Copies of this chain bind each other. A is one copy, B any other.
Amino acid sequence: MRLKEIIQKTGLNKRTIHFYIEEHFLTPKTDPSNGYYIFSEDDVERLKMLQQLRRADFSIKDIHAILKHPTSAYIYIKKQMEKLQKEQELLTRKIGSLQRLYDKLPVFVSSEAFSDAVFCTDFPDSTVALPPDLDSDVNLISLYLWGPFLNGITMSEYQKYLWDKLQKETAKVPSGTLLTMKDYLYSLTAEQLDHELQLRTRHIEEIAMLTQETMPAYVRKACQWIADCSESDAFAMTWKQDYHTHTLPLTRLYDSDFNSLMTELSPRFSDYYRNIHLCCDQIYDWLLSDDGADIFSRLSEQLGGYMDLCALHHGEIAALFGTGIVN
């Protein structure tokens, strides 16, 4: 198809189409005889999708991020909704002010009457705080937490019911924990989020697939990793940086009582849950044995205040080796 046809099909103008090509959203072939673009059906679909996303006011930068890292789409859509909701709230206030101004004017308006009415009317500045919408925050956090366990599952009605229940349970977690988690998610770039989700998915699969035969080698590898970490200043720095903003809320969320729900919802979770506990039990025993004593005291020194060393949670041990040893 030629440009003219594309313009007709999409309703986009020439300039916009050229802009999208310059932005590498699509790379149509060119006719070697005259250099004109030849568009494929895929190009048309792509253009239509761009048009749709632009209608929802997504920035070009955000569209790039979403298309490159579609796993991050949830965050971008939610952020965009919140942005538009803020604009909407501001507009509501502006319209309210205009109505009050209108109502205050006398029948025949003089300069003085107009300025008096303006001064009696409060117009909003641009700072708008939205009322918290915990439900939708919880949904976003649930997707981040449990998504990697549900990858590839087509949910039955019963599973959808469990998923709703899981979110209701998640909503009971202290709101401070949830908001910290949300701030963390919002602080990630699409690339970072995508990378993290991919790593966690692989980590989860790896753990879920461990057998009695493969587990000892995995635990040795984890212990070695922890030993290396205990000597690394760089690791300590990263750990401390992420601890309160991410690691702690994440382990708190995972430590909550979702296990029976998740076991029913995802067979992968059930395998993961059993195996991660077996691994952590052994690592825990090792850390408290003579063999691990040096490592344990080095960790205490390095991460003091940033790890509950008295009652090491399985969650914190799991986070300690976490995605670091994903193959």
User: Measuring CB to CB, which residues of chain A are less than 8 angstroms from any residue of chain B?
Assistant: 45, 48-49, 52-53, 55-57, 66-67, 70-71, 73-74, 77-78, 80-81, 84-85, 87-88, 91-92, 94-95, 97-99, 101-102, 105, 107-111, 113-115, 118-119, 121, 123-126, 143, 146-148, 150-153, 155, 197, 201
Q: List 26 A-B contacts (CB under 8 A).
A: A49-B118, A53-B118, A55-B125, A55-B126, A56-B94, A56-B98, A56-B123, A70-B109, A70-B110, A70-B111, A70-B113, A70-B114, A71-B109, A73-B105, A77-B102, A78-B102, A81-B95, A81-B98, A84-B98, A107-B146, A107-B147, A107-B151, A108-B148, A108-B151, A108-B152, A108-B197
A150 touches B87 (CB 8 A): no
In Å, the complex CA distance between A23 and B49 comes to 43
In Å, the complex CA distance between A124 and B110 comes to 41
Q: Which secondary structure dominates chain A's binding surface?
A: helix
Q: State the Cβ distance, A218 to closest chain B Cβ, in Å.
A: 25
In Å, the complex CA distance between A322 and B318 comes to 89
Copies of the chain in the assembly: 2
B102 touches A48 (CB 8 A): no
Q: Which residue of B lies closest to A111 (CB)?
A: B70
In Å, the complex CA distance between A99 and B81 comes to 8
